[in-house]
């Protein structure tokens, strides 16, 4: 799973959370680019292994969310300094990209819980990263 956030004029111009739970214990990594106009851009990176409980919960929520079945339309509020967030999911050789920002299918049930867990991982990794 790849959760990508793009921002208007926020602290970061972009943040990505990459979560892999297939073929091993699972890993989560974050990569953010600070919204400054200096060269080279300031980057924030950190990664760690998922606990078995986290990996299992992610799998259960992803399967319960039926992410390959549609519900991919949302909103882009970056022109008004908001957020544009997408979730890319690959499962059994199929890939879907869903817009999560402003998407009503991510406001309840398994999809909401999955997105909340991904946001928790993203925030934790950002706080743990060396600045």
Q: Residue 69 maps to which CATH number?
A: 3.30.1560
Query: Which pLDDT does position 39 carry in this prediction?
Result: 64
Query: Which pLDDT does position 83 carry in this prediction?
Result: 87
Low-confidence stretches of the chain (pLDDT < 50) are: none
Whether cis (ω within 30° of 0) applies to the bond prior to 64 is no
Query: Which pLDDT does position 88 carry in this prediction?
Result: 94
Query: Which pLDDT does position 95 carry in this prediction?
Result: 92
Q: How many domains does the chain have?
A: 1
Query: Which pLDDT does position 44 carry in this prediction?
Result: 85
Query: Which pLDDT does position 38 carry in this prediction?
Result: 59
Contact 98, 70 (CB under 8 A): no
Q: Which residues form the domain of 106?
A: 2-128
Query: Which pLDDT does position 71 carry in this prediction?
Result: 78
Query: Which pLDDT does position 77 carry in this prediction?
Result: 86
Strands 27-34, 83-91: pairing is unpaired
């Amino acid at each position: 799973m790849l959760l990508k956030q793009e921002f208007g004029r926020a602290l970061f111009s972009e943040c990505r959370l990459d979560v892999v739970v297939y073929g091993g214990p699972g890993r989560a990594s974050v990569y953010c680019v600070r919204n400054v106009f200096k060269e080279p851009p300031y980057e924030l990176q950190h990664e760690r292994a998922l606990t078995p409980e986290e990996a299992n919960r992610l799998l259960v929520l992803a399967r319960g969310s039926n992410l390959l079945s549609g519900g991919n339309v949302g909103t882009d509020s970056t022109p008004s300094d908001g957020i544009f967030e997408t979730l890319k999911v690959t499962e059994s050789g199929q890939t879907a990209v869903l817009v999560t920002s402003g998407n009503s299918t991510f406001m309840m049930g398994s999809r909401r819980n999955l997105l909340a867990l991904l946001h928790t991982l993203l925030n934790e990794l950002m706080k743990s990263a060396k600045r």
